């Protein structure tokens, strides 16, 4: 059996994938967006699209989850060169975290400066409702407590330092911008700001686990996002994240409610248009600020 070091893609492997993509499109994205379950409609807003099936990209994993289309789409969003992942990868699909986060390395190598991550999440905060959008202020990396981290193994200095800080994982200025844009488009009443916790999945949380996480100060819980954020920050990208609250976590032993992926997709469908408008205007504002810098 090969060792973890032998299995990992090298910097040169990542560079070959990045160079292949750049050779097949004129777009040079400065913003990348990773779409969560049911949120792939963001890609439909891109103009002048160049589409790559994940299966046709060297070293890319394949997305196996319903609601994740498995396409990498280059184009212009609100006039900004952007690349969108229409579907992400997860540890519960059987992929090691260094492979789950491989696309983030590619984004860095093709020149992306800002990563926007979106996800569908269960609401733990009692004030949250299905359809609310949570701006991620911070996260708890629960698999990391058990030694599951995408940065494990030899460090590649060409990507980043051995011990990257995470106290500023989610860019403060972009969080402020999101709340401001939300107020402008009339969705301030569904915008929240809170802490996201990543679990390994694929099962949903027990009632005891939900109670435990709530006591830790977790506002929303899911099975993704955090590994990608860690790698993006390791590469020096600035990061912004949204969680779409698609279900309320069950906290009552007498409740007959059960979380289901179908429920998540249905809730995503109803609220995705608001999230798409918010992200689109965010990208426009990011580009404008970059031009003023």
Whether 43 is a known active-site residue: answer no
Whether 9 is a known active-site residue: answer no
Choice among 119, 224, 249, 268 that is catalytic: 224
Whether 254 is a known active-site residue: answer no
Choice among 76, 155, 166, 261 that is catalytic: 261
Choice among 223, 237, 267, 282 that is catalytic: 223
Choice among 27, 32, 78, 90 that is catalytic: 90
Choice among 18, 37, 134, 204 that is catalytic: 37
Whether 183 is a known active-site residue: answer no
Give CA–CA dist 91/159, Å, rounded. 22
Whether 37 is a known active-site residue: answer yes
Give CA–CA dist 236/229, Å, rounded. 11
Strands of the chain, DSSP E: 31-34, 47-53, 71-77, 80-86, 114-123, 133-141, 191-198, 220-222, 238-248
Choice among 18, 32, 120, 237 that is catalytic: 120
Beta bridge partners of 195: 138
Whether 27 is a known active-site residue: answer no
In Å, what is the CA distance from 117 to each residue of 34, 114, 143, 197? Answer: 5, 10, 19, 14
Whether 269 is a known active-site residue: answer no
Under DSSP, is residue 90 helix (H, G, I), strand (E, B) or coil?
coil
Listed in sequence order, the residues at least 6 apart from 215 whose beta carbon sits closer than 8 Å to its beta carbon are: none
Choice among 9, 69, 93, 155 that is catalytic: 93
Q: Is 107 exposed, middle or buried (0-12, 13-18, 19+ CB in 10 A)?
A: buried
Whether 166 is a known active-site residue: answer no
Whether 234 is a known active-site residue: answer no
Whether 68 is a known active-site residue: answer yes
Q: Is 254 exposed, middle or buried (0-12, 13-18, 19+ CB in 10 A)?
A: exposed
Give CA–CA dist 253/168, Å, rounded. 37
In Å, what is the CA distance from 56 to each residue of 15, 46, 71, 137, 276? Answer: 16, 20, 10, 35, 27
Which residues are catalytic, by number?
Answer: 37, 68, 90, 92-93, 120, 223-224, 247, 261
């Amino acid at each position: 059996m090969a060792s973890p070091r032998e299995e990992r893609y090298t910097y040169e492997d990542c560079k070959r994938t990045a160079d292949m993509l750049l050779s097949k499109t004129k777009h040079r994205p400065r913003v990348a967006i990773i779409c969560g379950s049911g949120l792939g409609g963001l890609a439909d807003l891109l103009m002048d699209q160049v589409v790559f099936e994940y299966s046709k990209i060297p070293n890319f994993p394949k997305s196996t989850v319903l609601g994740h289309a498995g396409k990498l789409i280059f184009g212009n969003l609100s006039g900004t060169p952007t690349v969108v992942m229409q579907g992400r990868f997860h540890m519960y699909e059987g992929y090691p975290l260094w492979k789950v986060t491989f696309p983030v390395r590619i984004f860095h190598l093709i020149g992306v400066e800002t990563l926007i991550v979106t996800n569908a999440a269960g609401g733990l905060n009692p004030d949250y409702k299905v359809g609310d959008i949570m701006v991620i202020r911070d996260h708890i990396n629960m698999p990391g407590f058990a030694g599951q981290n995408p940065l494990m193994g030899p460090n590649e200095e060409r990507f980043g330092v051995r011990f990257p800080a995470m106290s500023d994982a989610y860019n403060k200025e972009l969080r402020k911008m999101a709340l401001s844009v939300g107020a402008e488009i009339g969705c301030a009443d569904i915008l929240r700001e809170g802490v996201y916790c990543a679990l390994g999945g694929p099962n949903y949380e027990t009632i005891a686990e939900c109670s435990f996480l709530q006591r830790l100060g977790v506002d929303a819980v899911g099975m993704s996002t955090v590994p990608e954020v860690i790698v993006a920050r390791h590469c020096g990208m600035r990061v912004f994240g949204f969680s779409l609250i698609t279900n309320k976590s069950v906290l009552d032993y007498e409740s007959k409610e059960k979380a289901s992926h179908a429920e998540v997709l249905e809730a995503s469908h109803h609220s995705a248009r608001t999230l798409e408008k918010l992200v689109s205007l965010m990208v426009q504002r990011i580009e404008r600020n970059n031009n003023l810098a």
